[in-house]
C-alpha cells in the first residue's frame, strides 16, 4: 500500500476492505502519505465515503457508513447533491487538548516559519487532536509569509505531528507535510481540532457552523464546515462537513 501511494504521488491515499458483506456499510481502512501510514486523516475518509456511496448505493440519496481506522472508528453520512457531487459529514469524536507551547518553543517555531510575535493572536499555541496531533498557531497577520521547512524534530518536542496556521480574521488556514514540500489544499483532520480550539477559547460557539478556508495559496480554494457540540466548557462531539466530486476511476494491474 505504501508503494502504491508513492507511485500515485497523491498527498494521501486510502485503502478500504469491506467488513459487512450484508449491508456493505462497514469498512476497514488504512491511510498513507508518501512517507508513512497515518492513524487518521479527514479528507481521505470523506472522499472514501462518497466513493462508496457512488459505487455501491447509486440509487440512494443518503447513506450512513462506518469506517474502522487504526486507532478509532468514525461514522460518516454521505448525501448525494447532484450528478457526481456529494456532501459527506464525519463525526470526529471528542478532541484531546494535549499541551500549550512554552514561550521558548514559540520563539523557536516563529523563527523556523518566518514569523514574528506580532503576527500571533493573544492566545496560546496548543496541540489538539481528534486522531492526529496538530499544533494550532493562531495568527492575526502573516499567513502569506509563512515559509515551511522540515520541522519534525521541532514539533516532536511538544508531541505534535503537524502544525496548522490559522488566521483568526480571515478564517483561513495553511498546513504542509513535515518536509515542507507539499502544501495541503484542505485538511479535514485539522479542521476538527481547529474548531475545537476556537470554541475552547470562546472565538466561536457550540452549535455554530464554523467555516474554515484553505488552499487559496495553491489556487485551489476549499471550504470545510465544522459544528462543535457541547455545553458549558465540555465538548461532546465534532462534525466535519465537506463537499466531494467524483472525477475519475481506474484499475491498478500491479506495481
What tens digit of pLDDT does each residue of 12-33 get? 899 999 998 778 899 999 999 8
Read off the C-alpha cell for 66: 462506518
**pLDDT above 80 for 255:** no
Residues 77 and 101 occupy one common structural domain: no
Name every residue whose Cβ is closer than 8 Å to that of residue 113 and which is 6 or more positions away in sequence: 146, 147, 148, 151, 163, 165
* Domain boundary pick from 29, 59, 92: 92
Residues 189 and 115 occupy one common structural domain: yes
Residues 132 and 225 occupy one common structural domain: yes
Q: Which residue has the cell 467488513?
A: 19
- The range of the structural domain enclosing residue 9 comes to 2-92
Read off the C-alpha cell for 12: 494521501
* Domain boundary pick from 63, 92, 121: 92
Residues 144 and 226 occupy one common structural domain: yes
What tens digit of pLDDT does each residue of 109-130 get? 999 999 999 999 999 999 999 9
Q: What is the mean pLDDT of the chain?
A: 92
Residues 119 and 218 occupy one common structural domain: yes
* Domain boundary pick from 92, 120, 151: 92
Read off the C-alpha cell for 32: 498513507
Beta bridge partners of 22: none
- 159 against 182, higher pLDDT: 159
Count of structural domains, the chain: 2
Residue 228 and residue 238: Cα distance in Å, rounded?
A: 5
Residues 58 and 105 occupy one common structural domain: no
Residues 144 and 43 occupy one common structural domain: no
Q: Which residue pairs from 4-8 have beta carbons closer than 8 angstroms and sit at least 24 positions apart in sequence?
A: 4/252, 4/255, 5/32, 5/33, 5/34, 6/34, 7/255
Q: What is the CATH number of the domain that holds 84?
A: 3.10.310.10
What tens digit of pLDDT does each residue of 208-243 get? 999 999 999 999 999 999 999 999 999 999 999 999
Amino acid at each position: 500500500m505504501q508503494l502504491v501511494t508513492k507511485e500515485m504521488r497523491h498527498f494521501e491515499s486510502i485503502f478500504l476492505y469491506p467488513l459487512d458483506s450484508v449491508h456493505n456499510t462497514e469498512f476497514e481502512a488504512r491511510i498513507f502519505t508518501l512517507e508513512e501510514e497515518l492513524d487518521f486523516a479527514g479528507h481521505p475518509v470523506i472522499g472514501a465515503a462518497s466513493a462508496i456511496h457512488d459505487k455501491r448505493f447509486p440509487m440512494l440519496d443518503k447513506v450512513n457508513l462506518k469506517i474502522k481506522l487504526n486507532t478509532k472508528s468514525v461514522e460518516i453520512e454521505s448525501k448525494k447533491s447532484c450528478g457526481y457531487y456529494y456532501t459527506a459529514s464525519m463525526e470526529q469524536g471528542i478532541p484531546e487538548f494535549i499541551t500549550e507551547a512554552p514561550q521558548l518553543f514559540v520563539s523557536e517555531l516563529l523563527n523556523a516559519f518566518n514569523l514574528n510575535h506580532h503576527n500571533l493572536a493573544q492566545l496560546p499555541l496548543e496541540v489538539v487532536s481528534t486522531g492526529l496531533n496538530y499544533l494550532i498557531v493562531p495568527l492575526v497577520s502573516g499567513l502569506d509569509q509563512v515559509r515551511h521547512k522540515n520541522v519534525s524534530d521541532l514539533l516532536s518536542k511538544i508531541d505534535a505531528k503537524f502544525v496548522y496556521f490559522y488566521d483568526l480574521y480571515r478564517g483561513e488556514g495553511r498546513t504542509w507535510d513535515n518536509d515542507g514540500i507539499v502544501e495541503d489544499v484542505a485538511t479535514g483532520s485539522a479542521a476538527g481540532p481547529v474548531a475545537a480550539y476556537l470554541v475552547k477559547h470562546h472565538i466561536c460557539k457550540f452549535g455554530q457552523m464554523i467555516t474554515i478556508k484553505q488552499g487559496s495559496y495553491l489556487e485551489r480554494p476549499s471550504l470545510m464546515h465544522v459544528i462543535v457540540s457541547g455545553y458549558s466548557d465540555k465538548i461532546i462531539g465534532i462534525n466535519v462537513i465537506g463537499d466531494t466530486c467524483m472525477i475519475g476511476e481506474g484499475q491498478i494491474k500491479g506495481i
